Amino acid sequence: MERIQTEIRKDWENKLEGLGFGYHSLEGLYWDESHYYQFTGSEIEAIENATAELWQMCLEAVDHVIAENLWERFNIPQHFRDYIVTSWEEDHPSIYGRFDFGFDGKNLKLLEFNADTPTSLYEASVIQWYWLQDMFPDRDQFNSIHEKLIDYWKYLTKYMNPRHIYFTSLTNIEDVTNVEYMRDCATQAGFETEFIPVQDIGWADDIEEFISGDQTIMEYIFKLYPYEWILEDGFSEKLVKNAFRSQWIEPAWKVLLSSKAILPVLWKLYPDHPYLLEAYFDGPKDMKDYARKPVFSREGANVTLYQNRVAVEHNEGGYEKEGFIYQKLFKLPDFDGNHPVIGSWVIGQEPAGIGIRESVHLITNNQSRFIPHLISG
């Protein structure tokens, strides 16, 4: 993996906005095409293989969590446990997820799995592909995200009837862009689709149904709104009462994989696995260099990094009350003070491509930049 300086397209902002990518510079530069990352074919093959194997390991881990009743470890309340189990046993559809990897050119390690509401989808799928066509049209990219999303939605048309899906999120530009992109893929696959802000979803108490603004019962709802927030705001009790007459995508079992608590479970099931970092629930044990991560956390909130058992970096946030896990610290590569994390997408059941976020900090946060990539040769 190399970090290579390159020219910035003169009209890059217009090009991005012409594609509907309006959050390239909201809180400082987010889309950064002053550099790109170049991978060899064998490096891409290694990332692809790791993604496929980890996905299967994660499915085994969900089985283990349910079989061993590890709900307390995941801070899942009693009332929501059977709901998760049913969504798992009935194989409710899952569209996508993003594994975050640390990669130093030799070691490829899972940092965490954004399995429920992964973002940076649109820039990974579409934006960096158009950058490649403009800048290096004779080169390739590890990126079949768009094609695999449409194909998987097409696959689901056999199982989802009626074919009307509501797509919902908060109304900030990043979430709306990502969910509208997903909606476009579902539309191309043959579904009827409609966007509704998550705060506009109604609940009819007398019939225990989720309803849209025109009082229509909502049977399928794709959400870009995390289950930990649904548990926090009391909405999960309505999901349980509704008993799956409304089916939510991603399914409820994804809350287990999007939790950092899955990391010690994976380590216990697959000790010393080459893709995993040592991880525990009850303290760092003998580790001197480790990350203390909240069970639920977004954008690096409440993460603390320790070197030689001394805190060297910490992010503030509001996720402390659910508890923590402890994961061996991976030394991210340092490219002139920039530290990349590889987000590797799984669509349906298959690896589909990568996006790279880069930070001047060791903890990737909401100020990290998105850097495009290509494959050498």
Length of the chain: 377
Give residue 344's pLDDT: 98
Adjacent-strand bridge partners of 203: 210
d(CA 334, CA 103): 11
Give residue 323's pLDDT: 86
Give residue 340's pLDDT: 96
Task: Give the tens place of pLDDT for each residue, 107-116.
Answer: 999 999 999 9
Could you tell me which of 140, 143, 145, 144 has the C-alpha nearest to residue 40? 140
Helix (H, G, I), strand (E, B) or coil at 118: coil
Cis peptide, bond prior to residue 208, ω within 30 of zero: no
Give residue 130's pLDDT: 98
d(CA 296, CA 364): 15
Q: What's the pTM?
A: 0.96
Task: Give the tens place of pLDDT for each residue, 149-190.
Answer: 999 999 999 999 888 999 999 999 999 999 999 999 999 999
**Model confidence at 17, in pLDDT bands (50, 70, 90)?**
very high
Helix (H, G, I), strand (E, B) or coil at 132: helix
End-to-end CA distance of the chain: 13
Percent with pLDDT over 90 in the chain:
88
d(CA 167, CA 157): 16
Give residue 365's pLDDT: 72
Give residue 116's pLDDT: 95
Give residue 28's pLDDT: 87
CB 36 within 8 A of CB 374: yes
**Model confidence at 72, in pLDDT bands (50, 70, 90)?**
very high
pLDDT for residue 321 is more than 90? no
Task: Give the tens place of pLDDT for each residue, 205-243.
Answer: 999 999 999 999 999 999 999 999 999 888 999 999 999
Specify burial of residue 133 (Cβ count, 10 A radius: 0-12, 13-18, 19+): exposed
Whole-number average pLDDT of the chain: 94
Task: Give the tens place of pLDDT for each residue, 284-319.
Answer: 999 999 999 998 876 767 889 999 999 988 877 776
Give residue 237's pLDDT: 96
pLDDT for residue 53 is more than 80? yes
Give residue 362's pLDDT: 82
Reported in sequence order, the residue ranges of the chain that DSSP labels E, i.e. its strands, are 2-5, 35-39, 96-103, 108-114, 164-169, 192-197, 202-204, 209-211, 220-224, 247-249, 279-280, 290-294, 304-307, 310-314, 324-328, 339-347, 350-359, 369-371, 373-375
**Model confidence at 195, in pLDDT bands (50, 70, 90)?**
very high
* Cα–Cα separations (whole angstroms), residue 329 to 199, 285, 304: 38, 13, 10
d(CA 256, CA 116): 9
Give residue 162's pLDDT: 83
pLDDT for residue 61 is more than 80? yes
The whole-number average pLDDT for the span 89-98 is: 96
Task: Give the tens place of pLDDT for each residue, 251-274.
Answer: 999 999 999 999 999 999 999 999
**Model confidence at 202, in pLDDT bands (50, 70, 90)?**
very high
Token pair listed for 150: 């449409």
- CA torsion angle 90 93 98 99 (round to 10): 30
Q: In what order do the strands lie in the sheet with 247-249?
A: 192-197, 164-169, 220-224, 247-249
Percent with pLDDT over 70 in the chain:
99
Residue predicted with more confidence, 147 or 300: 147
Give residue 233's pLDDT: 86
Give residue 316's pLDDT: 75
Give residue 313's pLDDT: 83
